[in-house]
Amino acid sequence: MASVKNKNPGAGRETKSRIAPLTKSPQRKTSIKRKRRMLNGIPLKRKVVWVYDTNSAEFKAKVKAEARQIKAQDADREGMEFIEAVLADPEIQKWWS
């Protein structure tokens, strides 16, 4: 038998398109840049921030001490404000004199 010729000569090879691809080719993971986080158009930078350990006994003791101090200051101030407000009432002034 005679050799059979392929009717489509370019069928066995891949041809490159002359049109530019619409999407970029995938890059390696190491070269991918992440989007920078922005706040009001200003780029943000990651920093380490130290904060109090709110579960520690020292922190809880300090909070209780400050709460007692604030409560004592407010009690004195609120008591005097109440007395001044009552004495400023015209009916109480009539009764008091």
Q: What is the DSSP string of 43-72?
A: E----------TTSHHHHHHHHHHHHHHHH
pLDDT value at residue 55:
92
- Answer whether residue 25 is part of any domain: no
- Answer whether residue 93 is part of any domain: yes
- Answer whether residue 59 is part of any domain: yes
Kindly state the helix (H) or strand (E) to which residue 38 belongs, with its residue range: strand 38-39
pLDDT value at residue 86:
85
Banded model confidence at residue 3, pLDDT cuts 50, 70, 90: low
- State mean pLDDT over 51-63: 92
pLDDT value at residue 47:
87
Percent of the chain scoring above 90 in pLDDT: 14
- Answer whether residue 63 is part of any domain: yes
Query: How far is it, in rounded angstroms, from Cα 94 to Cα 64?
Result: 44
Banded model confidence at residue 61, pLDDT cuts 50, 70, 90: very high
> Whole-number mean pLDDT of the chain?
77
For residue 64, the enclosing domain spans: 53-97
Number of structural domains the chain divides into:
1
- State mean pLDDT over 46-56: 89
